[in-house]
Structure 1
Amino acid sequence: MGEAKRRQELARLGDVEPMVLDTLGGRIHVRWDETARATPNAQLAFFAEFLKATGLYDRWLESCPLSYESSNAPRKADVLGTWLLSILAGHKR
């Protein structure tokens, strides 16, 4: 049986193998839940993989003029990453 037919058969049976995505936070596994109507963060894992693959997030960090001088200040990557995730999650204040 060809690989495409095997995937179709697994999908039909509901036993689909998880997809492996490489993100800035490390490797994650994504498995579709066919019974769920929607997920809270939908395609966020795929967007994270896109940011790593294109280098867009790293270039954004390098070009950002943000800097803190305190010895206990958070890293720039932590501040910008939190800000980006809050925007993507629809945070309102």
Structure 2
Amino acid sequence: MKKDPLSVTLEVDSFDGKIHVEWEPEASVTPMGQLAFFIQFLKTGHRFEPWVNDCPLTYKSPNAPQKVDVLGSIMLSILSGHKRYAHIGTIIG
């Protein structure tokens, strides 16, 4: 029996390693459904690191988060359709 093309598991390369993406035709569409592929594009195309390195953002506190974490969270939030700073917390999960 031939497998339905939508039920094939795809391997996507992310900054934290490889992840597996599987389509569920009956599932609801979510704003984060395509993010894995965009993250792979950023990594494969070497687009994210130069952006982070060129950003003039600096922190002086020893408790400050890493610049890459701040910029990554902001980018994911924007790509998820958030329009307010307060909505960034919804991508943590």
What range is the shorter-chain TM-score in? 0.7 to 0.9
For residues 29-40 of structure 1, what are the structure 2 equivalents within 5 Å?
A: 29-40=20-31
C-alpha deviations, 1:30-63, integer Å up to 9, x for none?
0010112423412111001000000100110111
2:88 corresponding residue in structure 1: none
For residues 1-93 of structure 1, what are the structure 2 equivalents within 5 Å?
A: 9-11=2-4, 16-93=7-84
- Unaligned 5+ segments in structure 1 are 1-5
Structure number with larger C-alpha Rg: 1
- Do the aligned partners of residues 18 and 66 (structure 1) sit closer, same or farther apart at CA in structure 2, a change above 3 Å counting? same
Structure 1's consecutive aligned runs of 4 or more residues displaced over 2 angstroms after TM superposition are none
Give me the CA root mean square deviation.
Answer: 1.8
With CA pairs under 8 Å and 6+ residues apart, which has the higher RCO, 1 or 2? 2
Q: Secondary structure at the match of 1:46?
A: helix
What is the rounded CA distance, in whole Å, between the counterparts of 2:64 and 2:28 in structure 1?
41
Aligned length: 84
- Unaligned 5+ segments in structure 2 are 85-93
TM-score between the two structures when normalised by the length of structure 2: 0.80
Fraction of identical pairs, as percent: 46
